[in-house]
Structure formats: structure tokens, C-alpha cells
Amino acid sequence: MLTLKKVAITGGLASGKSTVCQILKRFGAYVVDSDEIVHDLLTPNTPLGKEIKNLLGEDVLTDGKFDRKRIAAKVFFNPDLLRSLEKILHPAVIKEIEKRFHNLKDAKHTSLFVAEIPLLYESDLAKHFDVVIAVVADPTIARSRSKHLQDFEQRTERQLPSHEKAARADFIITNNGNLKELEEQVTTIHRSLTGQ
């Protein structure tokens, strides 16, 4: 029987983490995205939602739903509030990831369970994974790819530097070139992890 390896993909802003995950998905990996899990967890009437509402106030709701833009605006320049929010969210995210992993554990069709977690080291979640892959890109290239051009620097400052993430990871993917070069690196790592 295949042993399901639990793999975390991390890296800096606009380094190409999601693209790496999509390539691994094409190779048959089961992929979860921590940002999507956060999105699913942000429901005001759950116990977690009530905790967040108590922390941030009613003004982060629009039409009875959490407004992610309002939440971001509220915590962006308030590190203490952001930390408090992360203390609520991160354990819930890893709990959901663990649940999905256990649901899939005896799966015959895949040998890789992949979770995309940008703040893996910052939120001390690396210990939950067998393997960590860090995706790094030259800051100039990452900036040009980023959807968050206005606050790219502030967002980057909140994260561990890419070289530190790379130093802690089991595998490093350098994404400064084209898609073909990226696919070649992912293929090599996939083979190493699955023996295929």
C-alpha cells in the first residue's frame, strides 16, 4: 500500500506556490490551500466566527458575512490584533488540514497530500508535515508578479525572508524562469518523494 506523505508548500509572496501546487495536482497529488480553508472557516455564526467577531467587532461584517477586505484593513497596521487573529485561525486551519489528511490516509490513488501554507514557519506549523518544499523567487521578479503591488513590501516584511524559509525546507524550488523550468524542478522532487 502507498504511504501517504504529508507535504507543505511554503514561500514568499508571489513566489509561485500555487503554480507548484497545480503542477503537483496534475501529477495526482491531493492539494489543499490554507487560504481557502480560512475562507471556509470565516462564518460568523460558528464558535470560531463568534471568537473573531468578539476580537474584531461587528464592523468587519457586511450583510451578515465576514468582509475579508475589512478584516485585512483592520489588522494590516495593527500587529497585536493580527497576532490575536492568527492565534484563533492557525489552530483551526491545521485541525482542518489534519482532518482532510486522515480522511484520505488510506487512499489508494495518491501518495502525496499537499498543503499550501504561506506562513508555515511563522505560525509554527512545519512540525505537522513530513516534508517541506520552499518556493523562492528573486524579489524583483516576485514584485512584478504580485497582485498586491501597493503593499508588497509591507506584506513581505511580515514574513520570514525567503532564504530563511529555504534554509529550513527539505526541498527548494527556485522560480525565476519560465513554466517549463518550474515543471522540471517539480517533476524531479515529485519523483524523489514518490519513487515514480
Q: Which residue, 134, 136, 125, is CA-closest to 101?
A: 125
- Amino acid found at 46: T
| pLDDT confidence band for 193 (50 / 70 / 90) | very high
Which of 38-47, 72-81, 170-179 reaches the highest mean pLDDT?
Answer: 170-179
Residue 132 has pLDDT above 80, yes or no: yes
**Residue 95's pLDDT band (boundaries 50, 70, 90)?**
very high
Q: State residue 149's pLDDT score.
A: 61
Closest C-alpha among 85, 165, 76, 164 to residue 120: 165
Q: What is the predicted pLDDT for the residue at 190?
A: 95
Better pLDDT: 68 or 136: 136
Q: Which domains does the chain have, with CATH numbers?
A: 5-194 (3.40.50.300)
Provide the CB-side half-sphere exposure for 25 (13 A, CA). 12
- CB contact at 8 A, 21 and 116: yes
Is the pLDDT at 1 greater than 80? The verdict is: no
Model pLDDT for residues 133-188, shown as the tens digit of each residue = 999 999 888 888 876 666 777 777 778 888 899 999 999 999 999 999 999 999 99
Distances (CA, A) of 77 to 74, 82, 98, 157, 176: 7, 8, 31, 12, 30
- Phi-psi region at 10: left, alpha or beta (left = phi > 0; alpha = psi -120 to 50): beta
Residue 66: how many other CB atoms lie within 10 Å: 19
Distance, in Å, from the CA atom of 144 to the CA atom of 127, rounded to the nearest integer, reads: 32
Task: Name the average pLDDT for the chain.
Answer: 89
Q: What percent of the chain stands above pLDDT 70?
A: 95
